[in-house]
Structure 1
Amino acid sequence: MKSNTTSFATRCGRIFRLLSHLAVGIFIIATRYSRLAQAERAVVTRRWAQQAMRILGVEIKLGGVNPGFYPPNTLLVANHVSWLDIIVLNSCTVSRFVAKREIRGWPVIGWLAHVAGTLFIDRSSRRDASRVNQILADALKSGGCMAVFPEGTTSDGQGLLPFKASLFEAALLADGTVQPVSLRYQLPDGTLLLEAAYIGEISLLQSLRKVLAVPQMEVVLCYGRPLKAGAEGLENRFLLSEAARGEVARGLGLKLEAPTQPTPAPADETRV
């Protein structure tokens, strides 16, 4: 059943408030964000994200156990559906993100992401994955909470793509914890909301228009079982990746086929 859409006046009101809110974020980042301690940055980031959710009419429903406001030495891994994912996650558990290099060139958003501490990776380069892994590991060791989308791209939310294991190496290097998180966008009656998906050839503006047209949107954010990197059964990045994918699938209510044993990459290579 097709959902109703918001009125033109409501959409205009949302976009005006969203642009105003974005301007506030730009002002904070440009004037004082870099001078704040990490704990203060986390407070500012979460408050901004929560307000953005209210403006967009998005209600978050939590499941599982939240690992905390800014859990140290933690690698958050989540399924990837929309550009909204980052805002949704930051409204609950604040993290620095790893994103594809192309986002760095997006107007305004790319600059905001850069100043906010996002790490950009060239997914076509195995050497770049090694570089980012080391940076990730150093950030985790220093008490950071980092986040990645191991599917490597967005999906429509109906399934779960295979996870790329490469960036799980950082959790092993840092002796950290992998925290799986699942995201499901839906209507208040529980129907999967495909309008939230940022997939295919759709532009960011077109995706925003779709989101603004939805009267009420819910995001079910479910924290899975924390995975201690290096523990029994989690001794390498492939085992960590599959265990994390299983937890995310469980949060989404999906059943996965038994994984095939991966062929390890040569010692000097990292898969992307």
Structure 2
Amino acid sequence: MSLKPTDRPVPPLAPAPWPVRLLRLGRLVLHLVRGLWLVGTRYHRLSLAGRAVITQRWSCHLMKILGMEVRIVGTPPSDVFPPNTLLVANHVSWLDIFALNSVTVSRFVAKKEIRDWPVVGWLAKNAGTIFIDRSNRRDASRVNTQLARALESGGCMAVFPEGTTSDGSGLLPFKASLFESVRLSRGMVQPVAIRYFDAAERFTTAAAYAGDLSFIASLGNVLRMRHMTVELAFGQPLQAGSSRYDSRFALSEAARGEVARRLMLLPAPPDMAETLPPCPPV
């Protein structure tokens, strides 16, 4: 299943000037240092609501630093940190996490390798990320138990059930294993479709972090873009444990159907989409 290319002829877009790229990079480094300070000094002392506010503001500012606009299609959860909710989305980029957190804050499930990454691994661990060993199928049982407890305690969790990233032009099969957690907690599944567009409103793979691409190369691709829009299209919420969604397989297929349906939409016109209000100061 793939996105349809636009039929509208648009000339190639010029890349962002070097001074703009360097300015973004400098601001990004300072913002990362700010995040390290917040997590190391304040984050662990805050309530879930307090952490959600800081996470949303930090993520919102990161989007602005990188010249990105977040566009919302559909209806996101009314709460910034919706309780007993599992967000499921297609996975395109390392930016997906921050784009989602700029709207609906959640704790993520990530591959265990990220835990050992310099700086990023420390941030992820202290932000409450749950790590999974994707090479060990039995590890899903342990993660499901942790996820179910977090959901039952009022948490909002997020997973990328494709299990890997893609360039965003298609949708891989969903792995049903982690849907067991929301079935156990009888929570809500919130499907979200993620797409990236350039300044001419064309679908772009510039944000993709897939294949053998290094993080440095991916970051360079993002900094090179004059402007990007990340579209978060929220699908119909699915109530786990209902007669229609009484198994992880039914939940997985229904969630994938919602994401696929949203990915096939053309960019939402101005009267159908919303942009986030200006970010409050961190």
Question: Structure 1-normalised TM-score?
Answer: 0.92
Q: Residues of 1 paired with 2:12 and 2:126: CA distance?
A: 39
Structure 1: gaps of 5 or more residues: 255-272
Shift of 1:3: 2.8
Give the corresponding residue for 1:232.
243
Q: Residues of 2 paired with 1:109 and 1:4: CA distance?
A: 31
Q: Residues of 1 paired with 2:146 and 2:14: CA distance?
A: 45
Q: Residues of 2 paired with 1:111 and 1:218: CA distance?
A: 28
Residue correspondence of structure 1 range 88-237 to structure 2 within 5 A: 88-237=99-248
Q: SS at the partner of 2:178?
A: helix
CA displacement 1:121-149 (0-9 Å, x = unmatched): 00111221000000000000000000000
| The 10-residue stretch of structure 1 (158-167 or 225-234) with the greater mean CA deviation from structure 2 | 225-234
Please, which of 16, 26, 32 is the counterpart of residue 26 of structure 2? Answer: 16
Shift of 1:104: 0.8
Q: Residues of 2 paired with 1:4 and 1:237: CA distance?
A: 46
Q: Residues of 2 paired with 1:250 and 1:23: CA distance?
A: 39
Shift of 1:235: 1.0
Shift of 1:245: 0.3
Q: SS at the partner of 2:158?
A: strand
CA displacement 1:31-66 (0-9 Å, x = unmatched): 111011110000000000000000000001101111
Give the corresponding residue for 1:267.
none
Shift of 1:232: 2.4
* Residue 30 in structure 1 maps to residue 45 in structure 2: no
Q: Residues of 2 paired with 1:162 and 1:61: CA distance?
A: 25
Q: SS at the partner of 2:49?
A: helix
Shift of 1:150: 0.2
Q: Give the superposed CA RMSD.
A: 0.9
Shift of 1:179: 0.3
Shift of 1:191: 1.0
Structure 2: gaps of 5 or more residues: 1-10, 266-282
Q: Residues of 2 paired with 1:204 and 1:233: CA distance?
A: 41
Shift of 1:188: 3.2
CA displacement 1:49-93 (0-9 Å, x = unmatched): 000000000001101111121100000000000000000000000
Shift of 1:2: 3.5
Q: SS at the partner of 2:31?
A: helix
Q: Residues of 2 paired with 1:230 and 1:41: CA distance?
A: 29
Identity of aligned residues (%): 59
Q: SS at the partner of 1:131?
A: helix
Q: SS at the partner of 1:16?
A: helix
Q: Residues of 2 paired with 1:18 and 1:184: CA distance?
A: 22
> Retained in 1: the 8 A contact 2:199–2:226?
no
Q: Residues of 1 paired with 2:13 and 2:175: CA distance?
A: 34
Q: Residues of 2 paired with 1:224 and 1:232: CA distance?
A: 20
Q: Residues of 2 paired with 1:43 and 1:96: CA distance?
A: 13
Write the letter of the residue equivalent to 1:6.
A
Q: SS at the partner of 1:92?
A: coil
Q: Residues of 2 paired with 1:52 and 1:250: CA distance?
A: 28
Runs of 4+ in 1 over 6 A off after TM superposition: none
Count of residue pairs brought into register by the alignment: 254
Shift of 1:9: 0.6
Please, which of 41, 51, 62 is the counterpart of residue 72 of structure 2? Answer: 62
